[in-house]
Amino acid sequence: MKLTRIARYVDLLFCLVIMPLVITLLPVDRWIVHNTAFLLTLVVYIYGLYFIYRRTRPAHLFLQHKYLRIVLLMLLLVGVTELLTHFPMHESSPALDARQLAARQNMRTQTIWFFFLVVTGFSLAIELTFELFRQMLFRQELEAEKNKAELALYKAQINPHFLFNTLNTLYALTLSKSDRAESAFVKFSNILHYMYAQADREMIPLVDEWEYIRQYVDLQRLRLNSHTQVELIEEIDDDRAAVPPMLFITFVENAFKYGISSETDCSIRIGLHLHKSMLDFTTENAVMRRREEAVPGIGIANCRKRLQLLLPGRFDLQTSEREGLYRVRLTIRLHEE
C-alpha cells in the first residue's frame, strides 16, 4: 500500500513537473502556431510512452526471464518512435531554403529520439527501483509468513496428543518386546529430526518430504486396529523435484484426526503423483468426527498462504465433502512456464 502511494507521487512528479520543464526547452511558441498537431502528438507520445513502461513493468519481466516480451515491447516502441519522426511538418515561412528545412527536420528527429531515451531511462530507473522494493517487501512478508506457518505447524504436529499416543504405543511395543519397537523408535526419531532440521529450508526434495509422510503414517498405523485401513499411493517420475517443506502433513494429520475409528470400518487414502513437473497430491477419508466449531482451523489456511507466497499462480487447492467422504486435492506446477 505504501509503495503504491509512492508510485503515485512519482507519476505526478513526472507528469506535472519533470516533463513540463523538459518540454519548455522546445520551441513551443513556434510549434504551437505552425505545427500544432505535431506538438500535441509529441506530448501525447511522451506521456503514453511513460505509462506504457509503468504498465508493462519491463524490470519485472526481466526478473521473470520473459525476454521475448521485452524484445517485442521495445521493437514496438522503437517502431512507433520512428514513425513519429516522419510526421508531416508545415513551415509557412518562405525565407527557409531546403537546407534550413532539412536542418529543422533533423532537429525534430533528434528531439523525438531524445525524449524517447529520456522517458525510457527515467521509466526503467524508476521501475527497477520499485521492483527492488517489491522484492524486499516480498521477502520480508514471505519470511514473516513462513515463521508464522512453521509455528502453527509445530503446534499442530508436535502436540501433546500425537506425542502421548506415539509414546504410549512405543512403550507398549517395548514392554511386549515386539520386533517393531526398534523400527518405531527410529521412525519417531526421524520425524522429530526432519521437522526441526528441514522446516527452515525454502525447498526440499519431494522424495524426502514423501518419506517423512510415509514414516508419519507408519507410526499412526501402530495405534490403529483393523477397523481403519490406510492406503498410500506413490508415482514420482523425477527424484530431483523439490517442494516447500512440511507441505502435506497438515492434510495427512487431518485425515487421521477426523477419519479413524476403533469401532467402525473406515479407510484413509493418501496419493502422490508427479508427472512432467505436475504434482497431484490427494487425501480421502471418511468423516468419523467433526471439528469443534469453537476451534479455528488454521492448518489449511496456513498451507494456502504459504503456497500463495512461494508458488503464486502455480497451484490449486480444493477441499470437498460428499457422501461422508472428505477429500483434499492439491495440484502444483513445479516449474514456471
Decide: helix, strand or coil at residue 68. helix
C-alpha cell at 66: 520473459
- Averaged pLDDT, 106-124: 84
Report the mean per-residue pLDDT for the chain: 80
Q: What is the chain's length?
A: 337
Phi (first) and psi of residue 334, to 5 degrees: -70, -25
Residue 279's H or E segment, with its range, is strand 278-286
Q: Is the Cβ–Cβ distance between 43 and 15 less than 8 Å?
A: no
Inter-helix orientation angle 67-84/36-56, to 10° = 170
- Domains in the chain: boundaries: 2-139, 158-333
Query: What CATH code would you report for 158-333?
Result: 3.30.565.10
pLDDT category at 180 given cuts 50, 70, 90 is confident
Q: Which residue has the cell 483434499?
A: 328
- pLDDT at residue 331 tops 90: yes
- pLDDT at residue 210 tops 90: yes
pLDDT category at 296 given cuts 50, 70, 90 is very low
Q: Is the Cβ–Cβ distance between 315 and 332 less than 8 Å?
A: yes
Please report, rounded to a whole number, the percentage of residues in the chain having pLDDT higher than 70: 83
- pLDDT at residue 23 tops 50: yes
Cα 87 from Cα 236, distance rounded (Å): 61
Residues 6+ apart with CB under 8 A from 309: 138, 141, 142, 145, 146
Residue 241 Cα to chain centre, angstroms: 18
CA within 13 Å, CB half, 29: 0
